Amino acid sequence: MSLGFLTLKQICDNERFLGKSHFMWFKNLVIYRFNEPFTHSAEGLADHLQADSFRPCGGHDLSSFGWTAPLGEHSEQLVHACNGFLMVCVKKQEKVIPSSVINELLQEKVADIEAQEARKLGNKERSRIKDELIFELLPKAFRFSRKTFAYIDPKAGWLVVDAGSSKKAEEVVSLLRKSLGSLPVSPLASQCQPSVQLTDWLTQHKAPHELLIEDECELRSEDEEASIIRCKRHDLSLPEIKNHLDKGKQVIKLALTWADRLSFVVDEQLLIKRLKFLDLIQEQRDNIDSTNFAEQFDAEFAIMSAELSQFIPRLTDLFNAEGNP
């Protein structure tokens, strides 16, 4: 059978049969430090999350947001524990009604009313009709979902969220705070400006010994215009880059490789993006001997969390960073 005619379920079943993993290796890191020890067990944490577990959107709901099992259909447990690390997952479902559809229906509705009543409708009436149309369309609207994974390292005192922005990470943190009643965490922040450190490394084209500067950066001027220059797949040691730095531009993003194990882009807020686990880590993954999805997921989570437990403390040392109250 041609791949083009396989159903999504068949593709997923075939990948599982071939031993391919569905573990969600983190691609971004938004890091929080616990200000107090995290004392909940996996079972206790799961009990707290239960009240806020995910439920699909109802007929007239615009969105739904709640906890779901990290292992998906392979488990109903809301917390996946491995080697002392606790993984959780938030699922957000939203309904989509194309604005072009709403506008077309609105124009038709308004035109009919204006023709019948021989008058122009005001903005308030148009707004009311638009709200009524959206309400009518919601039960038939397309729905799409996305998951955001996070894990807790109780021993070291870290909460790590795989989110591309602080705003998305805060959605997870806020829900966790709601479920637990309180969550004493602070986002990672440097005692000095990370951009100053990044600029110094790029100006000298020399970073601490386990870091390698790669081929991507983003520079921003400090004047009122705050002009930005983005360089990708570019030799950052060229004179043109140094000229920009000499004129006062600051590095606000820089691509780095750490110890030949991780590559990533770090920004001025110490957000880690486009994280990749390199060959040394992938070899460990390839050597996993598992017989089912749960074992594979568990083993890969163990590898990833163990690696990040070494990387995060080094990151905080490099930038003199702690939790920011």
> Where exactly are the structural domains of the chain?
99-140
| SS3 (DSSP) at 154 | coil
Residue 93 tokens read as 């479902």
Residue 275 tokens read as 């994280």
Whether residue 324 is predicted with pLDDT greater than 60 in this model: the reply is no
Q: Determine phi and psi for 29, rounding to 5 degrees.
A: -130, 115
243-265 average pLDDT score: 95
Q: What are 293-308's pLDDT values in tens digits? A: 989 999 999 999 999 9
| SS3 (DSSP) at 236 | coil
pLDDT at position 12 is 42
Residue 188 neighbours by CB distance under 10 Å: 24
The pTM for the full model equals 0.83
Of the two residues 169 and 289, the one the predictor is more confident about is 169
Torsion angle of alpha carbons 146, 151, 152, 156, nearest 10°? -140
